[in-house]
Amino acid sequence: MDYPTHLAEDFQLADGTQCRIRPIRADDLAQHTDFVHHLSPATGFARLLSPRIPEEPELRRMTDVDYEHELALIALAREADGEVHEVGVARYVRGDTPESFDTAEFAIVIADAWQHRGLAEKLMRRLIAAAGQAGVRRLADITLYDNRGMLALARKLGFKAQRDPGDPNVTRLRLDLKGDAERA
């Protein structure tokens, strides 16, 4: 599948900051690596549910995506240093069997300095719309039970949240997309 240019969007945060959302590309590897390596340990842990930091092969896979099976939308903003930096990413990855192709796991992470500014909601709404347009019927994943920010955002966007009976440290999140593509 070709690069989905139609998913790019320029927008302004409530504080006036100009941002751009667009699909990630393989040539974003250095920028994405810098983004991941500058997350605080707490933010990195909340995203990966572990203290590990992704290494180059995993980061390469995160940026060189097959758009038919997955999508990563990055948020770019001009920071105080005058440079444009990645400040957030939201992604979904479809199941790899015909039976699971209509379900996708999702994830989102926002750079620490950019949290609580409306960026996560904007990215997730764009991801939900893109997933629905691509035929994904359900987004699902887990988050830490005490990740209040993610839980509040998920509920605001219509996700169902349920504590995992097998692991009290996580909450399962699920959103059925039938007819939800117009949420963006």
- Which two three-digit tokens encode residue 55? 């290494």
Please give the sequence-ordered ranges of beta strands (E in DSSP) within the chain, or none if there are none: 9-12, 18-23, 70-78, 84-94, 103-110, 138-144, 160-163, 170-176
Q: CA-to-CA distance for 78 and 87, rounded, in angstroms?
A: 9
pLDDT tens digits, residue range 74-130? 999 987 788 899 999 999 999 887 777 889 999 999 999 999 999 999 999 999 999
Helices 29-37, 56-63: crossing angle, 10 deg rounding = 120
- pLDDT higher than 70, residue 184: no
Least-confidence region, from 1-10, 27-36, 50-59, 165-174: 50-59
State pTM to two decimals.
Answer: 0.91
